[in-house]
Structure 1
Amino acid sequence: MAASTRMTGFFAQTAALKGRLGASPLVAKVTGAVSILLDAFVAALEPRLGRFLDRSRRVAVVEGDGLALYEMREGRVTPRGPFDGAAPKDFSGRGLELRLPANLFLARTLRLPDAGRDYLGPILSHRLERLTPWRPDRVLYGYDVPEPAGPDGTIAVDLLATSADLVAPHLDALAGAGLMVTALGSSAAPLDAPLAIDLYRGRPGAGGASPLRRPVALAAALAFGLLIPACLAATLLADSAETEQAETGSHLVALRSRLAARSGPGGTREAALLAAKRPDASTLVLIDRLSTALPDGTVLRELDADGAKVRLVGRSDDAAALIGLLEGQGGLSAVRFAAPVIRDAERREAFDIVASRGQGPLPDRQAEAGR
């Protein structure tokens, strides 16, 4: 009982959160912008795929005290019977036109300057309080310019308006059956022709009712769902590579500093050149040989070359292969692991290798010159 009460409270809080988010002006603006972009993309894509699309229309008409459903396909009107609270299967998930009786609309024809043709929406919106008997925030309206401008420079604008309160009961009944109204107009217009004045035209996600809209939206959501983890993974890999590069650079700087300290300020230039050319004594030659021998998947974190012993610590994709690769490089011999190989979280093997370093005779100058 207690668990059921907690779940009920959780669902109530979730519903309240959805309500607050839905009422947020920012969320509404973002949703509207995304819907407009989606409609624009579908409008550009639809002409190229038009022959593969279903061009049928579905209409709900207020007749008497109820609703009647119709389907228009290739110019033919097919009655689908009265709406009894349950939608036909082929109506679900598709756009639906709602047509109300003509007596529920206010129809007027206005004469406006042709120069304001591109701003008819804002112009009519500011005049709704004077043009209609309803509150402006409860008015649904649409308009059409059926003829070109007259000799006096004005155009005839047909205005059709109704109250949202008159439409709401029918919207609720259809929504209860999972039907979404995407166009609203008068039943005075012929059913086999698209609405000349659609009161939902311009509303984000309502106009058009293209069958491409839903699959395109799902494809876009799936693409973004896959793109975000891919971007996060790429960022993490880039950060890991930068960290390894920085660590390798710091180790190289430390090795150079240690080498400079061992060389000391004394000695002649000729002696330094000879020492640099001895693979059994020169740390620089050893580092050069190791950088050539180690494969790309190996990162060397520590190198200690003290006397006759060399110690290498790092990570590799295949630590076992390093033993054979290092044997004989830079005078190294008896190459072996000083500690067990450990595989880390990235499935790379951490190794600790020690080797003996031979002390052979100094090569003569002719042999060195021949190299």
Structure 2
Amino acid sequence: MLIQAVRWWLRELRDAFGLRAARARIFKHSLRLTASDGGVVAEPRIGSRRQPAMALSGAGEPHSEEGKKWLSELRDSLHPPVTCIEIVVSKTSRLEQVVELPIAAEGNLDDVLRFEMDRLTPLRGDAVYFNGEITGRESATGKLTVSLTLVPREPVDAMFDSVAVWDDDAPSRDIRVERSGGEVLVVAAPPASASTLMPRLNLLLLAACLTLAAALLGLSFNEQQDYASALRAEIAKRRPVAIENAVLKDDVSNAVRQLDMLVAVKQDALPVTVVLEELSRLLPEGTWLTRLSIRPDRAQLVGNSRSADALVAILEASPVFAEVHFVSSVIRDEQTGTDEFHLSVLLHNDGAAP
């Protein structure tokens, strides 16, 4: 009985000092998930060594008792707070395309891509995980070429749910898309709050262990375990609140950063009044607009004109407009005797009058 008690205390002290977490950081721990036949295959990895894999049930389906037991026991070999979750994304489950952005977007590339996602791609920024890699830079034109990889969130989040028995803190992790060799991975890194939260919990647990050790001779081993279980339950009750506060702090920081980006975009944008005044001055008689759409760096002009073919040269003569081109073919309106046109125009803030 005494030997069993000593072994139990050694295990508690090891976790209190964070020895298992330190080992996981030295030898990279990861749990790789791969979709297979409507289910999920989970493969633990410690460093370069692969552990036996387990086929889990699909999203929304209950695990078998064997699957639940395997996930619960996995905590002994893979410490969730310092283990990365890696989801392998097949070619059919991702979208890849090349986009162009102003060279000024390089400093906040992820924020710009998220803000412009619905314009650059058929998907919304909040519906995908994405990765943008700069593949070209043209100083003469002020453009960046970016290789964009998009992964829909819904199936990825369902795979995170499939291992909730092992770790239910996936929503608080730092999730990003990475390329590793020929593979595309969605990587859920341990939450940033783990670096400050876990030492405090370890310190609390250490204090409890020392207190219990002092009473070791006066309490039976069963009473020790009951007391420790109650202590663990109290820690578990308080831990989600601490994690929620850390996640809330991250959300506020992200919101402030996006607001700063929007302010910067607005400051760099050409004033709408300048665009309207320049159009009023340049558009020839017999030309009128039925729709005008203005973005920070480009405008869309839809309307009718008796001389639509001449509009490109007229607008490009202005220092405010550049790269003028027809978005679609000019259509003749026999009733009005005019041409229906749709033009795209690049806006130059440097050419605006002070």
TM-score range (shorter-chain normalised) is: 0.3 to 0.5
Structure with more of its chain in strand, by fraction = 2
Greater C-alpha radius of gyration: 1
TM-score by length of 1: 0.36
